[in-house]
Chain A
Amino acid sequence: MIGSGTRRFIPRPFKTVMKPSYLYVQNLRYEMFLRRIGASKKEILILATITKSGTHYMRFLIANYIKHFRNGQDNPVAAREIDILFPNGWHHAYLGEHSYKSPTPLLRLIGLHDIPRSHIPFQRSLWNNSRVLHIYRNPLDYAVSLYMYKYEYYEHLSGTMSGPVEVLDAHLDEYVEMYLSFRETERKGNTSLLSIAYEDLIRYPEVSLGTVLRWLGCEPVPAVVDKAVQFSSEHLTALVGAGEIWQRNGTVPVNPKLISDFTNKLIEKGSVGSWKDYFDKSDIRRIEKRLDGFAINLYDFILDS
């Protein structure tokens, strides 16, 4: 479509007027692409999550479920295997059309073609007639995980943020935009959207996976669910909501000891409430006030394990 360079020079009123036509064409192109790859919107489950909220843990759960369900295989899905089974980010693969790769045909077992991931707000026109699974996490632990795994341990950005407090200050608007877009969509109804809190996902993985499968119209087999949970929980960084593709594919140099020390610390604490080591009372009050401005109550989130 129109490149980002060109887009910058188009006047705002003109953009507003053109938006419906633009969305219409975008949607048309998306549907044509789906047809070309032999899929329909109905067969796409968009894993639309706030980053660092268990996206990869959910991918492992589903991957282990379908592999074990099909083959009764007794090996967990490996870290690198997950990106072969579910290779697509929704935005790049389905809108950009450049990086689409065929996902595992095992997804047919649960009536799907693909489970692309996404970290953008709800896209009503493009995602209608698809299922959308939304996972989010309390904003304080989100900030800790984002700081550690996106900044501190990521060589290119290490040292650019002083800690989780600064990270949350910088990312809160983005978090709120994402969070509210899904809440509003749920309130309006008429969509196939299911939200799960990361805190519930790791405390009750069997129920979470079971509910997702029921929502897809399948009956979760208890023994296979148990096995999928057992296998998926071996991926500690995914379990603590910190899975990153660069950790798995080795494209970025990392200090594995730093990562594993911090990950183990989170595991010991149950992954919920790690924010207490970083936020003082005045930080919390400030965050509370900012969230109040969006009619979000910080204490409605699960802040403690």
Chain B
Amino acid sequence: MVTGILKTLLINKLPRSVKAGLRPAYRYGLGVRYKRFLVRLQTQPENLLILSTIARSGTHYAMFLFANYLKLITGNSDGPATPEEMNTMLPNVWHKAYLGGRPFGHSGTRGYREPTPYLAHLGLHDITRAHYEYMPSYWGRSPILHLYRNPFDYAVSIYHYKFKHMGDFPMGEEQGVASAVAGPADALDIRFDDYVKMYLSYRSAARGLRSQLLRISYEDLRRYPEACLRMIIRWLGREPEPSQIQTAVYYSSIKTVNQLEGAGGLIHPDRIDPKIKFARDGSIGQWKEYFTNKEVTHFKKRFADVDIDLDEFTLDS
């Protein structure tokens, strides 16, 4: 594709209207390049499960469940998958691995790594994660598992993981606003548009009969992991083996993952500070300790204005 100086010129110097006019061709080009990359990997879009989630909604929990189940079902398990193992088995972030980084850089910047061959047991080549809104042009033929969480607990989690310590480690794109984030309410304020766009895009794709789209709430996944994992495996056309589902859930529990992380395992190798725990307690309803009644009323109204009724979410355990 267009690279280097020419790309910088195109992005920075072209008038907005010209860029808008060129966008369809640019996207088409990216789409072609994406398909060619899949052909080179000898795979099909149908064999990529896009684990497309709202951040802090159980992405890594789902990855642990998959990793443990795959190890068990292929007879390769000798205990819980460690964070390193899980990251080696399912190493790819979709945009970095398949498109070449953000905002979709040239193909030389691709960070693709070979996922575990155990995935063949589920008829898949890769389970690759993303935190984007639904992208039909790329994902039109891929199965999509979408996880999301009630926005208040999302805010608590993102505050602790992203914003709370950001002042101590000034890196990343949100560093400029970090000092203004005093708590989860501020974090939700900053991430409001992102959350809404993501949530609505999948809800509307589901309403529009997008085939092979499964939406699961973090709250259900956390409270009923066995039922959810079985449902996911069936959705992929396999009959889940009951005792292995049970063991995979046991191996992936927050308690086990916390112990593994405590022993030095890096769940998210790119995290800001290795001392900040990736997995907190993950409980449902922790937002009540952080949001005042006034803030709850304020956000309920903001969400209602974009056709999202907060009372429809699981806000309590």
Give chain A's interface residues, CB within 8 Å of chain B. Answer: 42, 111, 129, 131, 183-197, 200, 203-204, 206-208, 210-211, 214-222, 296-297, 299-303
Is B214 in the interface zone, CB < 8 Å from A?
Answer: yes
Stretch of B108-116, B158-166, B202-210 that contacts chain A = B202-210
Q: Is the CB of A207 within 8 A of B214?
A: no
Stretch of B4-12, B233-241, B250-258, B261-269 that contacts chain A = B233-241
* A132 → B minimal CB distance (Å): 10
Most buried by B among A129, A131, A210, A219: A219
Q: CA separation between A208 and B312, bound complex, in Å?
A: 16
Q: Is the CB of A219 within 8 A of B312?
A: yes
Q: Contacts A186-B234, A300-B240: A129 and B209 contacting too (C-beta < 8 A)?
A: yes
| Interface residue tally for chain B (C-beta within 8 Å) | 42
Cβ-neighbour of B207 out of A111, A204, A300 (below 8 A): A111
Is B231 in the interface zone, CB < 8 Å from A?
Answer: yes
**Closest B-chain residue to A302, C-beta based?**
B242
Cβ-neighbour of B311 out of A42, A129, A208, A221 (below 8 A): A221
Q: CA separation between A203 and B224, bound complex, in Å?
A: 10
Q: Is the CB of A189 within 8 A of B212?
A: yes
Is B313 in the interface zone, CB < 8 Å from A?
Answer: yes
Q: CA separation between A42 and B211, bound complex, in Å?
A: 11
Q: Contacts A197-B230, A211-B220, A219-B313: A186 and B237 contacting too (C-beta < 8 A)?
A: yes
Cβ-neighbour of B206 out of A191, A197, A214 (below 8 A): A214
Number of A-B contacts (CB under 8 A): 108
- Chain B residues, CB < 8 A from A194: 214, 231, 235
Q: Is the CB of A192 within 8 A of B212?
A: yes
Q: CA separation between A299 and B240, bound complex, in Å?
A: 10
Q: Is the CB of B241 within 8 A of A204?
A: no
- Chain A residues, CB < 8 A from B224: 204, 206-207
Q: Is the CB of B203 within 8 A of A217?
A: yes
**Closest A-chain residue to B313, C-beta based?**
A219
Q: Is the CB of A189 within 8 A of B220?
A: no
Q: CA separation between A193 and B210, bound complex, in Å?
A: 11
Cβ-neighbour of B209 out of A192, A200, A221 (below 8 A): A192
Q: Is the CB of B237 within 8 A of A196?
A: no
**Besides the contacts A196-B231, A211-B216, A296-B239, what 4 more A-B pairs have beta carbons closer than 8 Å?**
A191-B212, A215-B213, A217-B205, A219-B203
- Chain B residues, CB < 8 A from A220: 312
Q: CA separation between A131 and B206, bound complex, in Å?
A: 10
Q: CA separation between A220 and B217, bound complex, in Å?
A: 10
Q: CA separation between A186 and B242, bound complex, in Å?
A: 19
* B315 → A minimal CB distance (Å): 8
Q: Is the CB of B141 within 8 A of A190?
A: yes
Q: CA separation between A216 and B213, bound complex, in Å?
A: 10
Q: CA separation between A300 and B240, bound complex, in Å?
A: 6
- Chain A residues, CB < 8 A from B234: 186, 195-197
Q: Is the CB of A214 within 8 A of B215?
A: yes
